[in-house]
Structure 1
Amino acid sequence: MHFPYSRLRRWPDVEADNLQAHDATDLLLVERALSLGVDGREIAVIGDEYGAITLALTDAGVDGIHVHQDLATGRRALARNADDLNLSGFSSHELDATLLDGARLVLLQLPKALAELEEIADAVARWAAPDVVLVAGGRVKHMTIAQNEVLGRSFAQVQAQRAERKSRLIIASEPRPVPAGPPFPVAAQHDGLTLVAHGGAFAGAKLDIGTRVLLEVLGLDGSQLSMDASDRARIAPETGAPTDPCCAVNDGEPSPTPIVVDLGCGTGALAASYALVHPEARLIATDRSAAAVASARATVAANGVADRVTVMHDDAGSALADAGADVVLLNPPFHLGSSVHTGAATRLFEAAARILRPGGELFTVFNSSLGYRAELTRLVGVTEQLERTPKFTVTRSVRR
């Protein structure tokens, strides 16, 4: 089989000379699947970042594959690559029974987070065929014994294969009986805020320290969340907390219904906290991760603000109108998969500049070592530092 892997694109994800749309693990998974000769309608593919596994199998005549990709960018890349190569014969699904019902072979690009792997392994054992075989692969440098242990909770047989081309496959079979309910989502309380998380959501049900710093700067931390609305309104003038930052920078009259966007929302901590403190605002929370979106929807529901927060599975706010937001809240990632790359943050800065109205505000928290202030000024507008801790910096950018 000769599949043109070099023609695959990462678009709309970040593209660079050191970032590719396939790796050796994809090739090993494809080769193993073809050697087993399983009917395509009995194959599920999970974590196929840009379509390399799905499209190589489809090109080889394997028809009817079910695919789950967590990232919106991956789903769009798969669709675009399929169009470019004139390939079809697969269907996309969420991580649920529709993906795995009747599956006898599951191909998995191992995720970074053990919690995500646990949720996937449980889903396969729960919904796939009783004789299902899970073939999981990854780059050797990113693999750990803990991944085998997680797989062992859902499968009686877990066998690591010999490494090839700096990648390795793990074969899991004989699914164990599953508990009555799945292990995810999980929930945790944080000073008046309930966070709900699926396995693939960053930081899980914990409140990551960067988000915590931004919440404190915006007056959205536990001291505010534990109060009722009348108490928050009473003390706001005394503390000077920016309880309605969007209205402070309007050139014209304040908007009666401020539009606030949590860009890259994760589990929805920023959106839910803002909605709790600002009942007058309308929130839009968007993330490219399906696990994050499911988590954020559960979080806003758990905090009783689902009627004022819309959660969207989208790439860098691409579905949002230009110049329609009063405020954007942002805690950008600095990784692309397993690669350290600031391109993801740059895309979000550009997105914030597009969706903010002139005079609108972007509040960003980032690792202080990254020094994003100059880039924020260039892409968005005048940027000031609001807070700096030994690890994190919070800035306020006003859209020019």
Structure 2
Amino acid sequence: MEFPYASLRRFPDVEAPNLQAWDATDELLVQHALAAGAPGEEISVIGDGYGAITLALADAGYRGIRVHQDLATGRRALARNADELGHRTAGAPETPDDHAHGRRVEARRADEHAEHLGFGTDAAAFTSHELAPDLLSGARLVLLQLPKSLAELEEIADAVARWAAPDVTLIAGGRVKHMTLAQNEILGRSFETVQPQRAERKSRLIVASAPREVPDEPPFPVAERIDVPGLDRPLTVAAHGGAFAGAKLDIGTRVLLEVLAAEGRLRRASLAQPVSSRSARSTSHEPEAQTVVDLGCGTGILAATYALTHPDARVIATDRSASAVASARATMAANGVEAEVTHDDAGSEIPDHSADLILLNPPFHLGSSIHAGAAGRLFEAAARILTPGGVLLTVYNSSLAYRTELTKRIGPTEQLHRTPKFTVTRSIRR
């Protein structure tokens, strides 16, 4: 019986009619893995969005597969899909597909570092790993869903050449419309042989083999010293391959930092006045925050800058990308910043009503698709995390109609700054 790809869910990630949990590339990678005949313990899977590759191989009887997923949502979806498929395979009645069940599974499977699921057997079907030696040591077959970022592909290719078996074969695949010749060039830096295959069902595989000699040190994270608004010294930014904007300051973050810097100047000017002469108009939009959350922190620029300019605040930086989290931790260390950095889905591990201020630069893409669902989930998270009266500062593309949505989900929302490309708003939690 063929593997039931259509039964897989994206949950807890955004779900919509035009978004599915697998594609033809997943199926092609599985077919090549089955034909290769490598045992499960010699197979590593990287970039398996919601578990389609891993679970199809497990369903075929493979055990000991090692898997790395960058996104916390993907890890939780894999655990949930495995749980559902495992119940069916073991002959247990199907679990009702409701949100309460999803929350129970999500909580039970939240820590993916030691995830072991055996589909009703004593053997572990797969184990979850970070992009590190334990993921690849001894691996002779690596299956990869090509990432969007060339830098991320470079980091992965180096890791495979560095840590996998000398005779490893890397099979990378993607949708033809998203593939470029630059991907072949990147793979060619780490492998002697790179062979693109014929396209099938609008997907294409690339087979790379014969790893080249690697440099003494991995190429990532990279680090750059950059000037940021509000700081009187350069900030060192560290970035792994999959981190948005790399070690640069993206335009949206810069605009939000400019607003924060202006707010800080306004507050200092207000405090310098005699109390009797201060007016309501002279107070800053920024609250005297005790707990501040950088929600979707990326490389941690917002969190690090805020912590350096507000040393008494408790700063939490969180992101669903493992690459971003590793980058943010390296950024904090490079700047001597003490901040909590967590790999999490929309701040789900942060207690309700615990933050006074949230800084948010939400994405407007889900993978390769433009979709507002990712931002909506972060708005919902902010509403849950903020204390009553707490403030959400959001920067977003000016073309997006987020102000109404922010008012609906958070509370009264005003525009603080607008450029042709970006808008910064302030929302007060009801």
TM range (shorter): over 0.9
Q: SS in structure 2 opposite 1:378?
A: helix
- C-alpha contact 1:244 1:278 (8 A) present in aligned 2: no
Contact 1:263 1:317 in 2 (8 A): yes
**Aligned residue number for residue 383 of structure 2:** 353
SS at match of 1:320: coil
Distance in 2 between residues matched to 1:142 and 1:46, nearest whole Å: 18
Match of 2:153 among 113, 117, 120: 117
> 1:165 corresponds to which letter in structure 2?
R
Change beyond 3 A, Cα 1:35–1:217: same
State yes or no: 1:190 paired with 2:226. Answer: yes
For 2:285 and 2:348, locate their aligned partners in 1 and report how far apart those are by CA, in whole Å. Answer: 25
Pair 233,390 (structure 1): closer, same or farther in 2 beyond 3 Å: closer
Deviation sequence 1:154-212 (CA, Å, 0-9, x none): 00000000000000000000000000000000011112211100000000000000000
Letter in 1 for 2:327: S
Equivalent residue letter for 2:428:
V
The reply on whether 1:134 has 2:167 as its aligned counterpart is no
2:292–2:315 Cα contact (<8 Å) kept: yes
Give TM-score scaled by structure 1 length.
Answer: 0.92
Q: Tell whether the 8 Å contact from 1:232 to 1:277 is kept in structure 2 after alignment.
A: no
Distance 1:158 1:380 in 2: 50
Cα deviation code 1:278-317 (max 9, x no counterpart): 01100000000000000000101111112xx100000000
1:95–1:123 contact (8 Å) kept in structure 2 = yes
Task: Work out the CA distance in 1 between the residues paired with 2:135 and 2:283.
Answer: 45
Preserved contact between residue 104 and residue 131 of structure 1 (Cα < 8 Å): yes
Residues 391 and 237 of structure 1: CA distance in aligned 2, closer, same or farther (over 3 Å): farther
The equivalences for 1:89-128 within 5 A come to 89-128=125-164
SS of the residue corresponding to residue 178 of structure 1 reads coil
Q: Which residue of 2 aligns with 1:252?
A: none
Partner amino acid, structure 1, of 2:50: Y
The CA deviation at 1:246 is: 2.2
Change (3 A) 1:243 1:104: farther
Letter in 1 for 2:244: F
8 Å CA contact 2:266, 2:282 repeated in 1: no
Using a 3 Å threshold, how does the CA distance of structure 1 residues 139 and 279 change in structure 2: closer, same or farther? same
Partner SS, residue 38 of structure 1: coil
Match of residue 191 from structure 2: 155
1:227 is aligned to none
Q: Which moved more, 1:324-333 or 1:81-90?
A: 81-90
Q: Secondary structure at the match of 1:91?
A: strand
Q: Contact (CA 8 Å) 2:267, 2:283: kept in 1 or not?
A: no
Please give the secondary structure, in 1, of the residue aligned with 2:49: coil
Distance 1:394 1:283 in 2: 21
Taking a change above 3 Å as real, the CA distance of residues 179 and 397 of structure 1, as seen in their structure-2 partners, is: same
* 1:118 shift after superposition: 0.1
Contact 1:220 1:274 in 2 (8 A): no
Flag the 1:242–1:300 CA change in 2: closer, same or farther, 3 A: farther
Match of 1:199 in 2: 241
> Aligned to 2:317, which of 285, 298, 302?
285
Counterpart secondary structure, 1:218? helix
| SS of structure 2 residue aligned to 1:260 | strand
Is 1:217 aligned with 2:217?
Answer: no
1:309-352 CA distance string (max 9 Å, x none)? 10000000000101010000000000000111000000000000
Q: Which amino acid aligns with 1:344?
A: A
For residues 1-400 of structure 1, the aligned pairs below 5 Å read 2-86=2-86, 87=119, 89-191=125-227, 192-219=234-261, 237=271, 245-247=286-288, 258-306=290-338, 309-400=339-430
- Aligned-partner SS, 1:188: strand
- 1:388 alignment partner AA: R
Compared with structure 1, are the counterparts of its residues 207 and 241 closer, same or farther at alpha carbon in structure 2 (3 Å cutoff)? farther
- CA offset at residue 233 of structure 1? 8.8
> How far does residue 63 in structure 1 lie from its aligned partner after superposition?
1.0
SS of match in other structure, 1:196? strand
Tell me the SS of whatever aligns to 2:399: helix
Q: Secondary structure at the match of 2:70?
A: coil
Structure 1 residue 236, shift from structure 2 partner: 7.4
After TM superposition, the score normalised by the length of structure 2 is 0.86
Deviates more, 1:212-221 or 1:235-244: 235-244
Task: Measure, in 1, the Cα distance between the counterparts of 2:361 and 2:44.
Answer: 33
Alignment CA distance shift 1:238-1:151 (3 Å): farther
| Contact in 2 for aligned 1:138/1:169 (Cα 8 Å) | yes
Task: Give runs of ≥4 in structure 1 deviating > 3 Å.
Answer: 231-244
Deviations 1:41-99 (A, max 9, x none): 00000000000000000000111100000000000000000000003510000000000
Task: Check conservation: 2:10, 2:20, Cα contact below 8 A.
Answer: yes
- Letter aligned with residue 323 of structure 1: H
Q: Is the 8 A contact 1:219 1:242 kept in 2?
A: no
Q: Is there any run of 5+ residues in structure 1 with no aligned partner, and where?
A: 225-230, 248-254
8 Å CA contact retained: 1:45, 1:54: yes
Q: What SS class does the counterpart of residue 194 from structure 2 fall into? A: strand
2:113 maps to which residue? none
- Residue aligned with 1:219, SS: helix
What secondary structure sits across from 2:347 in the alignment?
A: coil
Aligned-partner residue type, residue 174 of structure 2: G
For residues 235 and 369 of structure 1, the distance between their equivalents in structure 2, rounded to whole angstroms, comes to 33
